[in-house]
Amino acid sequence: MTLSTFLSWLLAYKYWALFPIAVIEGPIITVAAGFLITVGVFNPFLAYAVIVIGDTVGDVLHYCVGYFGGKRFIERWGKYFGVSLESIVPLEKTFADKGHSFFFWGKALHGIGGALLVAAGLIRYPFGKFLVSNVLGTLVKSALLLVLGFYFGQFLEKINSSLNIVAVVTIVIVPIALVVYFAWKKSRHARSQ
């Protein structure tokens, strides 16, 4: 789907389109909604509420994918990616210690949020904690993106391109950084014994 298709749906169906698109897409639609607030298509408070709820529903769906299907996926396909059920044990410990900050950074760093949400479900991170952390991050991120769209919505295509570049860079850099971090931590632990 193109950005212009989403915009035409928003203009035609307003909040009825905003909710499902926010569930699926998120960031650029929030920026677009901010722009449409400036031209009177959306009420800022109602648009904000619909976006936060829609984004949260999408995040809960990601969590459910990990919770209900993640372990079966790893058992069946993990060997092709170098992942086993035993390899997620350090992830469980890290989430237990730093879950709130993971969700914050998952929201802040466009591109890796979905993977973190699925991972949270996979390791059975407590749903209540997940929801609170995630909603707090969604409230902040959605507000910032609406403001961005409100003031700079005329540059929507450029913002969309920038978000796509950020997503690609994040998808490449963050996994490499995590591998380096866990390798460093494992070697440090081995040296201390």
Q: 92 exposed, middle or buried (CB, 10 Å; 0-12, 13-18, 19+)?
A: middle
Question: Is residue 146 within 8 Å of residue 29, measured between CB atoms?
Answer: no
| Residue 110 confidence (pLDDT) | 61
| Average pLDDT value for residue range 39-43 | 89
Q: Where are the domains of the chain?
A: 3-192
Sequence-ordered strand ranges (E) for 17-167: none
d(CA 158, CA 140): 22
State the pLDDT at residue 123: 81
The model's pLDDT over 152-170, given as tens digits with 9 standing for 90+, comes to 766 556 655 665 555 555 5
pLDDT at 135 over 70: yes
pLDDT of 53: 95
DSSP state, 79?
G
What pTM, to 2 d.p., does this model score?
A: 0.72
The CA distance from 157 to 28, in Å, is 9
DSSP tag of 91: H
> How far apart, in whole angstroms, are the C-alpha atoms of residue 67 and residue 79?
19
User: What does the pLDDT look like over 51-82, one tens digit per residue?
Assistant: 999 999 999 998 888 888 877 777 776 666 56
